[in-house]
Amino acid sequence: MATLLHRLGTFAFRRWPVVVAAWLLVVIGAGTLAATVSKPMEDTFTIPGIPALQAQELQQYLFPEAEDAQDLATVNVVVAAPEGESLREQPYSGEVEDLVAALQDLPQMPDEPKLADPVTASDAQFERAVSGAVEAGTPQRVAEENARALLPLGQDDRIGVITWDFDVASPADVEPATREALLDALADARDAGLTAEVNGSGLQAIPEVGGTSELVGIAVAAVVLIITFGSLVAAGLPILTALIGVALGILGISIATALTTIGTTTPILATMIGLAVGIDYTLFILARYRTELRRTDDRRAAVGIAVGTAGSAVVFAGLTVLIALGALSIVGIPFLTSMGLAAAGTVFLAVLVALTLLPALLGMLGGKAFAGRVRRREDKRDAHGLAVNNGVRWARLVGRAPVVVVLLVVVGLGALAVPLQSLQLSLPTDSTSAVDTTQRKASDLVSEAFGPGREAPLLLVVDARRTPGQQSAQQAFGDVVAWAAGQDGVANAQVVATSGDGVGAQVLVTPQGGPSDQGTLDLLDRLRSDQSDIEAETGTRLGVTGITAIQTDVSERLTEALPIYLAVVVGLAFLLLMLVFRSLLVPLTATLGFLLSVLATLGATVLVFQEGALGLVEGQPLVSFMPIIVIGIVFGLAMDYQVFLVTRMREAFVHGMSAREAVVDGFRNSARVVAAAATIMISVFAAFVLQDDPLIQSIGFALAAAVFFDAFVVRMALIPAVMYLLGDKAWWLPRWIARVLPEVDVEGERLQRPTATSREAAPERDLAPTP
């Protein structure tokens, strides 16, 4: 491995014009292809085979004319008069009429939009529904209750809803200009004195990549890199290469939209990971290059050693991230697969850029790679000429009381994990959007006027083909309605549609709670658990579907998939780390440390985002797929730091140092760079808390917290303490495993090292640019 990468690094350094031109052509080609074939991104949080989708298939069979709810670009405009006023009165009734007229002229509306103000629509709908139900034999009181449950106007006539579907094939086809025109119409209504907000799938917008969050992360990274290298040019190289890798990753995602459905949050996740690892991987190789320049005047040889050693660590660190992200496809959840593979592709590009483009740029810069010097640093040296820096001092401090350090870390991270026992999960809805968004404001108005259950409907699909006679089918439908209405937590249940042949019905069940309320989830469980009894009693076949049911099923499937995912990721990564370190205990301690850091991370995220601690956000359930994504990413990043820090320990150990000295030497050579890399990752991830999307906020916070816990607490404190306690046993490997495992030479033992020069005694002075 080291020999192959050594050749790659020296080739890129020597033939830098060819390598730089090749990367430039790749960027231009990817950009051209993306502009040609890319399609809009679309969120589809579904999983084939879940009960709600099976019920939806039954619905489509019984009602073939019905459209798939997930393909409808539905818009709900919610209007409200001031407190104490009514939409029936002027001037508000006239303002609503003006708004309706403006909405009818929006782009992408149906050919003959049949919009009406909520007052007119409510009066007509109520009269029609009550008279029809009474004629069918429904008691007057029940008919009126059912009619009111579906009216677009609240009981106090203050809040109303205008609903329609854009004339498009899917929500992703709604053009940005259409959304802008809709928001402009609402702004005009607000200027006239109405409260006007909007939500629904037709308002789905693609989050922008390249905004404030990314810029904040890059700015902090620049400061850290300048402090680390003391050079403006060297500080700019990791940022430049990371941006190239991320740009290619985003272009690749755009190209992939022509082949499959890509979620709107996918590019942001790829940007997060791509920026962080792209900067880190280049940082590690560049730092090793600077170290080698202290030993030789031959820059090509220094690049070869840096890419052969640090590059080997980058390859295996990248492989752990790729395993963690790629394994998301194993659980069989399409939207997670696309997110994982997109982020994995970006990481793969980051590795390629670090191994090829960086040495090419170093060849292009020559002696100016560390130009623009803003500070000089000289570490003190001991009697053997070895640097005595803060990494050495910290390692020796941990070595004085390793047992105490282990106990403090375990107890501290364990305490942070305690809130995890109250974890609640749900998928994102308008009701869980940020409080200052129009989607959330519209949802709150609907809940105020109609109750929270209006936004959490459950749909019972009733198949009465086994029931003899249409009269018996109607009786069966009534029995199903009575059964559903009698369940705890139900605000209303009624038949809202029957099939043309009279053997199918749709029963709308409105819960008392909202989409993420535990009572709504319990109601769904009761309906399904008692389903077989009512089926036997009525001779029908039932299914429960609707957006709430689909999202609940997805959440449960995600929870079920987590143990399988963990087993696959941890198992494969354990084997990979055993191959890298040729040890059984080092991978074991690395994995156990990861479990501590991820449990503490999820506990802290529950505390901040679910319980509302620190006041960053309003407390609400975490997004269902956040834990599995965070676990995958954190595992990959945790193994990154393990590889970068402990490979230097192993390199020292195999070159003759004692186990204790090897720990100190590992910190001597890697602690500063690992600390800088972790700080950069934390800043990149934490900057995404500035986003408006709660999902992005929670993932950014969790990843930033995870890097802090894992890099600074686990890798920089717990692992060295455990290594001190294990001593030489840390590198123990059973002989039969040693015979099976191939030698990969991560430490570069087979590489020919250049002869040391006087540079090693005066590294900073000699790194100045030379002609």
Q: What is the pLDDT of residue 626?
A: 81
How far, in Å, CA of 334 to CA of 47, rounded? 7
Q: Where are the alpha helices (DSSP H) in 486-625?
A: 518-529, 531-538, 547-581, 585-605
Q: What is the pLDDT of residues 644-689, one digit of tens each?
A: 788 778 878 877 788 888 888 888 878 888 888 888 888 878 887 8
The pair phi, psi for residue 362, each rounded to 5°, is -65, -40
- Asked if residue 496 has pLDDT above 80, the reply is yes
Task: Give just the sign of the alpha carbon dihedral 564, 566, 569, 573.
Answer: negative
Higher model confidence: residue 6 or residue 751? 6
Confidence band for 41, pLDDT divided at 50, 70 and 90: low
| Residue 136 burial (CB count, 10 A) | 10
- 3-state SS class at 80: strand
How far, in Å, CA of 76 to CA of 112, rounded? 18
Q: What is the pLDDT of residues 510-569, one digit of tens each?
A: 999 888 788 898 999 999 998 999 998 888 999 999 888 888 888 888 788 888 888 887
Q: Cβ distance 593 to 718 under 8 Å?
A: yes
Mean pLDDT of the 239-267 span: 83
Mean pLDDT of the 610-627 span: 78
Q: What is the pLDDT of residue 95?
A: 92
Q: What is the CA radius of gyration of the chain?
A: 31
Taking alpha carbons only, the member of 281, 287, 289, 290 closest to residue 313 is: 281
How far, in Å, CA of 602 to CA of 413, rounded? 11
How far, in Å, CA of 687 to CA of 690, rounded? 6
Q: Cβ distance 204 to 43 under 8 Å?
A: yes
In 353-432 the beta strands, taken as DSSP E runs, fall at 380-381, 387-388, 425-426
Q: Look at strands 458-463 and 541-545 and give their pairing.
A: antiparallel
Residue type, 135: E
Q: Cβ distance 328 to 336 under 8 Å?
A: yes
Q: What is the pLDDT of residue 211?
A: 55
How far, in Å, CA of 607 to CA of 630, rounded? 16
- The pTM assigned to this predicted structure is 0.75
Whether the link from the prior residue into 91 is cis, omega within 30° of 0, is: yes
- Asked if residue 761 has pLDDT above 50, the reply is no
- Asked if residue 390 has pLDDT above 50, the reply is yes
The pair phi, psi for residue 448, each rounded to 5°, is -65, -40
Mean pLDDT of the 714-738 span: 88
According to the per-residue pLDDT averaged within each range, which of 266-280, 458-472, 592-606, 660-674 is highest? Answer: 592-606
What's the angle, vertex CA 688, arms to CA 220 and CA 201, rounded to 5?
155
Task: Give just the sign of the alpha carbon dihedral 33, 38, 44, 46.
Answer: negative
Taking alpha carbons only, the member of 349, 361, 439, 332 closest to residue 74 is: 439
The pair phi, psi for residue 387, each rounded to 5°, is -65, 140
Q: What is the pLDDT of residues 580-594, one digit of tens each?
A: 778 888 888 888 888
- Asked if residue 208 has pLDDT above 60, the reply is no
Q: What is the pLDDT of residues 88-97, one digit of tens each?
A: 998 999 999 9
Taking alpha carbons only, the member of 549, 602, 632 closest to residue 342 is: 632
How far, in Å, CA of 259 to CA of 248, rounded? 17
Q: Cβ distance 420 to 603 under 8 Å?
A: yes
Q: Cβ distance 458 to 56 under 8 Å?
A: no
How far, in Å, CA of 620 to CA of 462, rounded? 34
How far, in Å, CA of 709 to CA of 414, rounded? 12
Q: What is residue 156's DSSP assignment?
A: T
